[in-house]
Amino acid sequence: MSSKGDFKKIRLQAEGQGWRVEKRKEYWLFFPPEEDQPPCKIAGTPSSSRSLANFLACMKKKGYKR
């Protein structure tokens, strides 16, 4: 799994599904379309495929469809 390429695809798909994406100093925040749910957070440079898998699990719980 290429985390950099996969992350870009995930970001573009999420934005297409109505997610708001913000780049912070050291991490990214993905806000789901429902305003009452907290955002999913991932490091600016995902260091392992496990961190990407955990991030995807968080997003799927909040309505992200791959």
Q: What is the pTM of this model?
A: 0.86
Domain encompassing residue 41: 3-61
% the chain with pLDDT above 90: 65
41-64: average pLDDT: 88
What pLDDT does residue 66 have? 84
pLDDT in tens, 10-27: 999 999 999 999 999 999
The set of residues, in sequence order, having a beta carbon less than 8 Å from that of 41 and lying 6+ positions away, is 27, 28, 29, 30, 55
Q: Above 90 in pLDDT, residue 29?
A: yes
In the chain, how many domains are there?
1
Is 66 part of a structural domain of the chain?
A: no
